[in-house]
Amino acid sequence: MENSELLITVRKKAQGWLTDSYDTETRTQVQSLLDKADPTDLIEAFYKDLEFGTGGLRGIMGVGTNRMNRYTVGAATQGFSNYLRKEFSHLEQIKVVIGHDCRNNSRKFAEISADIFSANGIKVYLFDDLRPTPEVSYAIRRLGCQGGIILTASHNPKEYNGYKAYWEDGAQMIAPHDKNTIAEVNKVRSASDIRFKGNSQLIEIIGEDIDKQYIEALTTISLSKEAIMRHHDLKIVYTPIHGTGVRLVPDTLKAFGFTRIIHVAEQDVVSGDFPTVVSPNPEEPAALALAVEKAKETDAELVLATDPDGDRAGAAVKDDKGEWILLNGNQTALLFVYYLITRWKESGRIQGKEYIVKTIVTTELIRTIAERNGVEIYDVYTGFKWIADVMRKNENKKHYIGGGEESYGFLCEDFVRDKDAVSACAVLAEIAAWAKDQGLTVYQLLQKIYLTYGFSKETGISVVKKGKSGAEEIEAMMKNYRDNPLTEIAGSKVAFIYDYARLKGYSCQDKEVLTLDMPTTSNVLQYIMEDKTKISIRPSGTEPKIKFYCEVHSQVKNTAEIPEAEKAALEKIEQIKISLGIY
Active site residues: 154
- Between the CA of residue 552 and those of 71, 388, 500, 531, what are the distances in Å? 46, 28, 21, 8
- Between the CA of residue 8 and those of 16, 19, 28, 30, 49, what are the distances in Å? 13, 18, 20, 15, 16
- Selection from 80, 78, 77, 42 nearest residue 62 by Cα: 42
Kind plus residue range of the DSSP H or E element containing 236:
strand 236-239
Kind plus residue range of the DSSP H or E element containing 58:
strand 57-60
Cα 13 from Cα 33, distance rounded (Å) = 12
- Selection from 252, 274, 270 nearest residue 261 by Cα: 252
Cα 206 from Cα 401, distance rounded (Å) = 30
Cα 317 from Cα 430, distance rounded (Å) = 14
Neighbouring C-beta atoms of residue 376, cutoff 10 Å: 16
Query: Residue 496 burial (CB < 10 Å; 0-12/13-18/19+)?
Result: middle
Query: Residue 167 burial (CB < 10 Å; 0-12/13-18/19+)?
Result: buried
Torsion of Cα atoms, 496 then 498 then 502 then 503, to 10° = 100
CB 59 within 8 A of CB 162: yes
Sheet strands (E) in 78-118: 95-100
DSSP 3-state of 539: strand
DSSP string, 261-326: EEE-GGGSS--TT-TT-SS--TTSGGGGHHHHHHHHHHT-SEEEEE-TTS--EEEEEE-TTS-EEE
- The total number of residues shown for the chain amounts to 583
* Cβ within 8 Å of residue 279, ≥6 positions away: 155, 157, 286, 287
Torsion of Cα atoms, 66 then 70 then 75 then 78, to 10° = 160
* Cβ within 8 Å of residue 92, ≥6 positions away: none
Cα 205 from Cα 124, distance rounded (Å) = 8
Kind plus residue range of the DSSP H or E element containing 160:
strand 160-167
- At residue 309, φ and ψ (nearest 5 deg) are -100, 10
CB 114 within 8 A of CB 141: no
